Amino acid sequence: MKNTFKQFAPAKINLYLHITGRRDNGYHELDSLVVFAEIGDMLRVEPSSTLSLEVTGPFARDISVDHDNLVLRAAKWLLDKLGNPVGLGAAMHLEKNLPVSSGLGGGSADAAATIKTLACLWGGPLAQTDTSSLALGLGADVPVCMAGVPAVMRGIGEVLLPIDKVPALSAVLVNPGISVSTPAVFKERDNVFSGFFNIGDPAGDAIALISALRKSRNHLTKSAMLLAPEISATLSAISATSDCLLVRMSGSGATCFGLYGSNEAAACAARELRANRPDWWVESTVFQGNA
């Protein structure tokens, strides 16, 4: 029987996202509190003499299985770290449950899951300290997705500051059925930068954390809305649901989220949003904490 390894690739959420500067090479420096949802993609790998990828799931049609696919790029990155041994491969199967190019870090989460599963399959190193290489080679969100715990992400994504006592948050994720190009969003934004945001000590209190988050924002929202006006309608629709405590866009969009005081309130809001906009992707979930 073949050894099969599975790895969950959760949606990445930017509770806030500030742009603090831009390097000479054009890369933007970030300051963001990142958490992970209880929903995401699933990767399964089995031994093989060649490298292959099959994609299924609700958003499989939006994924290109070519040289630019992040799962394949991550696999080749790890192969390179191992010295590219002849005959070492894997049959990979990705269940794509998250919208593509949606601000949820799905591709980065899939890349992180690939490195983790193939390291188990091949017996190779995870190289978790090589975050600069990951951020530059595969994407800014890959290091934090490798860590998989609440953290403040800075630099170009390679600097991670773990945060203790982050409470679980009841939430709704909403995507209006569109994808947004991250490079285009960054290109559209102005060149105004901010300092680091001090989130303080979450202390396991969801209401206190949400109150602190109101003093922050997502600096990419304005430019994303210029490219995709549907984001404004999405934020407004979430704000209009009962008991919504905070509404915000995640990453570079177009997925937005609402935070609620309980799982029941989030589930109720999700039902309301689905009824009003059956063409949108709407999921109630929990943003995992570590309190």
Q: Which residue of the set 12, 31, 96, 116 is catalytic?
A: 12
Is 141 designated active site? yes
CATH 3.40.50.620 holds for 5-162: no
CATH number of 169-288: 3.30.70.890
pLDDT of the residue at 242: 96
Is 6 designated active site? no
pLDDT of the residue at 224: 97
Q: Would you report the helix, strand and coil content of the chain in percent, each value rounded to 5?
A: 30, 30, 40
pLDDT along the chain (291 residues), means of 10: 87 98 93 98 96 97 89 92 90 97 96 93 69 80 95 95 95 96 93 91 91 96 96 98 98 98 98 98 97 84
pTM of the model: 0.95
* Residue pair 286/267 in contact by the 8 Å Cβ criterion: no
Q: Which residue of the set 31, 41, 110, 141 is catalytic?
A: 141
* Residue pair 103/249 in contact by the 8 Å Cβ criterion: yes
Domain boundaries, the chain: 5-162, 169-288
